[in-house]
Amino acid sequence: MQNAQNSLTVPIILWGNKCPTHCVSSILISRRQDFLVTGSHDGQICLWQLKNGSFKATPTMLFVGHSRAVTCLAWLTPADNSFVSSSEAGEMCLWDLEDSSCKEATVVPYVHTHIQAYQLVGRRTGQLFCNGYYPDILVYDVFSLQLLFRLISKINPDWITSTIIMKPPGTPDDVVVGLTVGGAMKVWTIQPDFKSQGREVIFENESKQLAVQGAWTLKSCPTFPRTMLIVSPKAWHIYDAGDFSLLCTTNPPDDTQWSSGDFLNTEQVVIYGSNGSAYLFRLPLNSVADSQHFRRTISSTGTGNIPAVLFGVMKVPNATPLACEPAWTIFRSPKSTGQYPFRVENYIVRGDARGRILVWAIPEYTKEELTTITDGKAAVPEHTPMETTDMDTEWDRLTRRLPGLIDRAEFEDGGALKITSSLYAPIHGRMFLGMEDGAIIMLPALQKLSTQLFIGKKPSDMPVYRFLRGHEGKVTALLYPNQDDQRYDPGMLISGGIDFTVRVWDLYQCQLQHTFVCQAGEILQLITPPSGCNARVLHSICSIASDHSVALLSLKERKAIMMASRHVFPIQAVKWRPVDDFLLVQCTDGTVYVWQMETGHLDRVVQGGAAEDVMRAVDEEFGEGNGNGFANDVGGNTTLQLFRAIKHRNMDAVRQAAKTGLKNLGGNAAGGGANDGWSKTFFGHPLTVQPVRSSPLDQENHLLLFDVEALVLQLLQEENRTDLISDIGKNTPRTDGKPAEWRSSSTIPGSASSAATSAADQYHSKPPQKQIAFATEGMSMTVEVAQLLVSLLYAWGLDPEMDRLCVEKLGMLQPKQAVNYGIISKSGYMTLLLPTSIHRKSIELPQPQERIRDMLATITRGHWSISNTLTTVHLVALVSVANTLMNIQNATFHSDYEKRRKLHRRLMRMDTKAGQGSGPAPELTQGLGGGYSTSEAAQTFTEQQAQIKQTWSQLTAMHCVLLSERLGYENFKPPDVEVMLRRWQDRCLEIRTASQALILSELRRMGGSGRRHLIEQWAMYLPNFTANESAPLSEMRSASAASNAIPDTPASEQLSNEDEDFEELQHEPTVSDPSLPSLYSVEYRKKQSTAIILLGIIGAEFGPETQLSVSRSPSIDAMKAKQETMSVTDPVIRQVAKALSHIVINPDERLQPFSSLRRSAVDLLGRGFLAWEPFVDIAQILLSLLRLTLDGDRQVTIPTGVPLTPAQDMARAARHALEMLASVRPPVFITVMNTEIARHNSLVQSAQTLNVNLNNATIVRAKEELLRILDMLINKHPQSVADLIVEAVEIVIHSLDPGRIKTHGLVELFPPVGRFPMIAFCKQNRRIAVGSKKGGVYICELRGVKMQSYGGHAQPVSSCEFSPDGKHLATFSCKEGKLLFWQIGATLFGLGSTQPRCVKTCKAVSVSFQNWPELKDHAEYRMARQRWVSNKDVMVILANGKEERYSL
């Protein structure tokens, strides 16, 4: 599985006043007549909604992701709720209309022109039969899009243009009929027992050459499949499928060619012409299968001589020539809708190059009417469309202004301004717009978005525009070089235009600095050289023009230092080789020109396979992150480059696509590959604005990408005032040769980002006191981005009181109108809402509050009823950002309050450092009105803090728990649990916490029946791990595993990337159900991982409901009671427990050691240990968790705002799981650890003979971790530790240095054991005495390896204490009421010792447990303690204060 950046992104599209072009290439209509799907030559797919059973279509969504034209569409299920699409680039996508997202995507080396979904006999899942520009028929799995088998032609193989799949009556076989482009008819037979495992092939059973050339369509009659329609450009034919005899032939009119066709019924066909008209023909009787004259008129040569009769033409009045042939489909209505004056059975739907949808209704003529037309007594009727819909009309029907970045009404002349290029500088929050008239508009993006999207903005809040004028004609390219590398002046902007010039602008003075005129073509792209080039090139930029030239323009010398202009074909890509001082230019014909940057000489020209090898070598080096290679795509659509980069999660490519501003050259530029790990992770900016357009002629629309992870990290960084770049330099090294871009070392003075610092003076001579022409005052840019995001995602209008608190307390903004959201789904494919699908009206002030609230509620209901995936992403984003703002001292979006809050926090830090309080500063009284003292201001500030925290908490609870109730279940698409599972162990802790809270809330909302349905749905994917697992790990295995443990993670891999999904298991279980996908399917292994985590969560949080084998009982109470207990024979719990333990314990190298799947398994083992305990090996689990804790714990402290590395995150998860496991089962943890210590001690005695390195054993390396967990258990469960006090002391002795114990004592080194009076240590004789719960007395000599047991008491020992001289030991049992004196003998000079023995027994009746009933309220381990008053006398003190003295 490929690695991808695990980022949470919320897209929002800002459409302009002009709709995007949509040149229809394929069309599809649902059987229920509710949806229409059209694919375009630009690669986009549009979803049209048909309302009220009519054909009035409304465009609602745009599916984006295909890089080339969409060639075919096909429904997957009879319900028509999902479809598959294919493009000329070989991309196949499976789209779900209910969720409005892409569920599966793949790229194949074939171009499909026709796809048909069919379910073979004996299969429970469907298959996709594909044909196209290749000689085979490929069969794919309908869900995973994996190739199953091929239908191959061995006789005259040729491209298959069309196929028909049928099930002949009386036979169990399926028959596939294919037509080649050369006119050969081929037949394949698929038997039910055919196994598709291993991609087997099937050869044709029959092949016959027909008298047809260039055939493109093959159709069979729906009612009588024996007759077949074949359409070629020059004629269409009717054949008999029995023996492929020709029955009828008809030629096209002189002004057109046939493109396709279909049957209307057994007697009529419709043939589509290339001129955009459809022709209705009546078949002769010899071609009608149910006629008695069928096949009666066939010549001896087999040529049909009776033509069909034209009886109707479907055409568009006043039609103009189309750029492309239209796409056609037919809709067969089961009954009349009653809306038209005649009974309708069939409809013809056409989509053309202008984005129009035209629908014709085909009436049923009587026999008399048909006879009159066919005999020539009446003219052939021409029918006009009954419905015509196009995007331009739908766009013009909008009654509100679309919230674009620029509005024509804001300018004095009110002219129609077209944006031809745009660039967003996220470091400063500035947007640069290149216009068609040559002007460049500079405006603050965040301030502009606030005024466009939200109500209540004052005229003073309107952004100030600045204009840069100088180009003669439209601006085609923009570049802000400081955004790419800090070596460039932060006050410099570069632009290129259609006037062949490249201009350098001074942003400080808004003036033109220099103009380069050295190329003879329109400037297509401006890029910066990578670091590593020579000093002269580093101060230059690269300009690419439409005259096929590339120029290096020196910003320092103000001249062109290199001109490469010998390219014959348009430039497709530019790549760098700084080590060899080479610039590689790839053209659209595949030729690569290698230029020397220093001298400007052409080194060589490479073609063919060698050119591909050269470019691939540069790509591989750049992929390794060594800085020696760098790629820039020149050809292709900017929008396609953007979505290709999003698809691969290549944030560097996303940033590069933001500044291209290219026109569509028609070339297929190679997209950047996926990032190969966190070694290239780009923690991007919280907000990125990307230009989007379908074709070069469109106006640029803009896509807002909110990176939630980057937003959370920057909020934490700004709040804690940490120098994040230095921390990342230590923990997350970048390998692309660029500094981390979330901190700017060169900042335009006065910009919106208050967190950015200015260090441009080290490179440039710009005076730091210069300011940009305008600046945004108030909050930091990161907080403004958070305000935009939270205000857009909040559910307005559902709770008026909550809305008021959000506006007054939190400073949130109410939306002016519904916005168009986007959904990033599988493989980065994106769904964009069109403005015609949402609320059309805008909220303009003044309005009554009730009216505003109703309109906001309408917007909210539309927002949360779009898609399950959209609901999931928006809830996770909103809750994570809200929790972050609540946790950083209850931040708000009020600028005045934020100033006082930050001032108060800074003063508190100063007071803490000074060690004394100086009271609130006078600035805290600002904004509170007069009459407030500093103490009153501090109290008011504290009250405001509490109110703000409560409001944030209520906002989170509303969206986690109450949203479905407030909206109503009919207006709410619940979050997708499977999507949220991918965030269960997200690398960002705030997103992880929000996802876990939402998952648990959704599972609770489902109730028991919903959770059981999930279990039944996913239980089939659980892997069946056998019980042949090894015995508990011996110390030898632990030692050897530890000695071969994973070494310290290198710097380049410390932030290894994680996939968006859980990685698949390598284990291949045995599944008996043949209808399930192949066990070798990647998709099936992904489902295995999802099933393990999902059922693990249900088992851990709702354990009793995991049982599926509950027998039917007449007593409902008895059934519920049975569900509340865990059954050892429960198969689901057993399978989940085995799977989780296998993932954690299994040392298989194929499983990534710090993967999200393994981290989730560790977390769930700790959460639900009570459920998994009967089925797992506890010793193996504990040792594995300890090992993971030690392997990943490479750094003690993690700077705030820096995400954890996978190793550190695994250590954190394993440590937390150990704490939870030890908390729920303290005796189990203590016993298992004590057993492992005993095994280790036994191995120590024979370590030399076994040649085992015991110093790296897990139980040795985990000493500090054992002490930490034992400390936690003593604080939380002291009685459980007291019950196993002997084993606990052995763990402490093992974890501490014996030499330090002798000199410092046990309590001094580990103070928590001082809470137990039954533990005693004597420095004189260096012994430790412990009284057990069973009454035994254990004495350990530190020079020994094991405690010695001595009997004495029949009840638990309450206290032990050595005499001051160390010669005697007194033990007391409160429940038994007995005190024992032990003699601890020693020889002369302490060189030897004798066995301890009991020398006296005293009855302690007055301090016995029976005489003091109130002692029952005290813990057993605290009932009594001792104190020696002399070497012969000891005092027993009870918990109630009663004392009694005993003498030896």
Q: pLDDT at position 780, please?
A: 82
DSSP 746-767: S--TT-S-TT----GGGT----
> Residue 73, Cα to own-chain centre: how many angstroms?
26
For residues 1215 and 1166, give the distance between their C-alpha atoms in angstroms, rounded to a whole number.
10
Residue type, 144: S
Token pair recorded at residue 639: 């929008």
Please state the rounded mean pLDDT for residues 987-993: 90
- Of 203-212, 305-314, 789-798, where does mean pLDDT reach its minimum? 305-314
Residue type, 44: Q
Q: Which amino acid, one-letter code, is at 313? A: V
Residue 994: pLDDT band (50, 70, 90) is very high
Q: What is the mean pLDDT of residues 276-299?
A: 81
Nearest to 544, CA basis, from 574, 512, 503, 581: 574
Spatial contact of 778 and 811, defined as CB atoms under 8 Å apart: no
pLDDT band, residue 117 (cuts 50/70/90)? very high
Q: What is the pLDDT of residue 170?
A: 79
Sequence-distant (6+) residues with CB within 8 A of 888 are 715, 716, 719
Question: Residue 892's pLDDT is what?
Answer: 83
Q: Is the model's pLDDT at 4 over the cut of 90?
A: no
Rounded to a whole number, what is the distance in angstroms from the first to the last CA of the chain?
75
Asked if the model's pLDDT at residue 920 lies above 70, the reply is: no
Q: What is the pLDDT of residues 91-105, one digit of tens each?
A: 999 999 988 889 889
What six digits make up the tokens of 841? 């009206």
Cα distances from 973 to residues 648, 838, 860, 964, in angstroms, run 28, 16, 12, 8
| Residue 1446 vs residues 1404, 1405, 1424: alpha-carbon distances, Å | 9, 12, 14
Question: Could you tell me the two tokens for 1262?
Answer: 């985990």
Q: What is the mean pLDDT of the chain?
A: 78
Region of poorest pLDDT, from 196-205, 778-787, 904-913, 1129-1138: 904-913
**And the tokens for 590?**
């595949």
Question: What pLDDT is stored for residue 914 in this prediction?
Answer: 53
Q: According to the model, what pLDDT value does residue 32 have?
A: 85
Taking the C-alpha atoms of residue 1141 and residue 1162, their distance in angstroms, rounded to an integer, is: 8
pLDDT confidence of residue 954? 92
Specify the pLDDT at position 301.
43
What does the block give as tokens for 998? 């939402």
Phi and psi at 727, nearest 5°, equal: -70, -40
Nearest to 348 by CA among 338, 334, 332, 359: 359
C-alpha dihedral (948, 950, 952, 953), degrees to nearest 10: 170
Query: In which order are the strands placed within the sheet that holds 35-40?
Result: 24-29, 35-40, 45-50, 57-64, 830-833, 820-824, 9-14, 701-707, 687-692
Is pLDDT at 1202 greater than 80 in this prediction? no
Angle at 756 between CA 753 and CA 758, to 5 degrees: 125
pLDDT more than 70, % of the chain: 74
Q: Angle at Cα 906 formed by Cα 901 and Cα 910, nearest 5°?
A: 145
Which residue, among 1161, 1190, 1158, 1250, has the nearest Cα to 1045 in the 3D structure? Answer: 1190
Answer whether residue 875 shows pLDDT above 90. Answer: yes
- Residue of 438 and 907 predicted with greater confidence: 438
* Residue 334, pLDDT score: 65
Which residues 6+ apart lie within 8 Å of 1303 measured at CB? none
Closest by CA position to 833, among listed 64, 2, 22, 1: 64
Residue 1050: which residues within 8 A CB-CB, separation 6 or more?
none
Q: Compare 461 and 3 and report the one with higher pLDDT.
A: 461
CA 86 – CA 45 distance, rounded (Å): 11
Point out the least confidently predicted range of 533-537, 631-635, 859-863, 1072-1076: 1072-1076
By the 10 Å C-beta count (0-12 exposed, 13-18 middle, 19+ buried), 204 is classed as buried
Task: Identify which of 1136, 1134, 1143, 1127 has the alpha carbon closest to the alpha carbon of residue 1175.
Answer: 1134
Residue 1314, token pair as written in the block: 């001082």
Q: What is the DSSP letter of 408?
A: G
pLDDT digit string, tens, across residues 654-678: 444 444 433 332 333 333 333 333 3
Least confident of 364-368, 544-548, 1184-1188, 1288-1292: 364-368
The pLDDT assigned to 1244 comes to: 79
CA pair distance 521, 313, nearest whole angstrom: 48
For the chain, what is the radius of gyration of the CA atoms?
Answer: 39
Mean pLDDT check: name the lowest of 34-38, 457-461, 583-587, 707-711: 457-461
Average pLDDT over residues 116-122: 88
Rounded Cα gap, residues 1296 and 1306, in angstroms: 9
Sequence-distant (≥ 6) Cβ neighbours of residue 1053 within 8 angstroms: 677, 678, 679
Question: CB neighbours (10 Å) of residue 458?
Answer: 7
For residue 160, which phi and psi values (nearest 5 degrees)? -90, 120
Kindly report whether the peptide bond that precedes residue 846 is cis, defined as omega within 30 degrees of 0: yes
Rounded distance between C-alpha atoms, residue 752 and residue 426, angstroms? 10
Q: Percent of the chain scored above 90 by pLDDT?
A: 29
- Which token pair is 1083? 């998709």
pLDDT(634) > 80:
no
Helices (H) and strands (E) in the chain, counts: 35, 63
Contact 795, 73 (CB under 8 A): no
pLDDT for 873 beyond 90: yes
Res. 1115: pLDDT tops 50: no
Q: Which range has the worst mean pLDDT, 245-249, 476-480, 537-541?
A: 245-249
The string of DSSP codes covering 618-651 is HHHHHHTTSSS-EEEE-SS-HHHHHHHHHHTT-H
Select, from the ranges 812-821, 1083-1092, 1191-1200, 1387-1396, the one with the highest average predicted confidence (pLDDT): 812-821
Neighbouring C-alpha atoms within 13 Å toward the C-beta of 600: 13
The amino acid present at 349, given as its one-letter code, is V
pLDDT value at 934 more than 70: no
Residue 513 — pLDDT band, cuts 50, 70, 90? very high
Determine the 3-state secondary structure of 786 from DSSP.
helix
**918: pLDDT strictly greater than 80:** no
Here the tokens at position 733 are 């090294």
Convert the pLDDT of each residue in 427-444 to its tens digit.
Answer: 888 899 998 889 999 988
Q: Which is nearest to 447 in space by CA: 174, 787, 161?
A: 787
Cβ count near 287 (within 10 Å):
28
| pLDDT of the residue at 579 | 86
Q: In 405-510, which ranges are E strands? A: 419-425, 430-435, 440-444, 466-468, 475-479, 492-497, 502-506
Residues 28-83: tens digit of each pLDDT = 999 888 889 999 998 999 999 988 777 888 899 999 989 889 999 999 888 888 99
- Report which listed range, 125-134, 327-336, 678-687, 1409-1418, is most confident: 125-134
Cα 342 to the center of its chain, rounded Å: 52
Higher per-residue confidence, 1299 vs 494: 494
d(CA 1308, CA 1301): 8
Amino acid identity for residue 772 in this structure: I
pTM across the whole model: 0.84
Residue 1057 has pLDDT above 50, yes or no: no
Task: Check if the beta carbon of residue 797 is closer than 8 Å to that of residue 854.
Answer: yes
Give whole-number Cα distances, 418 to 15, 469, 504, 510, 850, in Å.
13, 15, 22, 22, 38
Strand stretches in 779-865, DSSP E: 820-824, 830-833
Q: Virtual CA dihedral for 410, 412, 417, 421, nearest 10 degrees?
A: -70
Q: Which of 86-95, 690-699, 933-942, 989-998 has the lowest mean pLDDT?
A: 933-942
Query: pLDDT per residue over 1252-1295, tens digit each?
Result: 667 788 888 889 999 999 999 999 999 899 999 999 999 999 99
Q: Which residue has the tokens 């039969």?
A: 129
What is the pLDDT averaged over residues 141-168? 89
For residue 177, what pLDDT band results from cuts at 50, 70 and 90? very high
The answer to whether 296 and 267 are in contact (CB under 8 A) is no
Within 558-601, residue ranges assigned H as helices are none
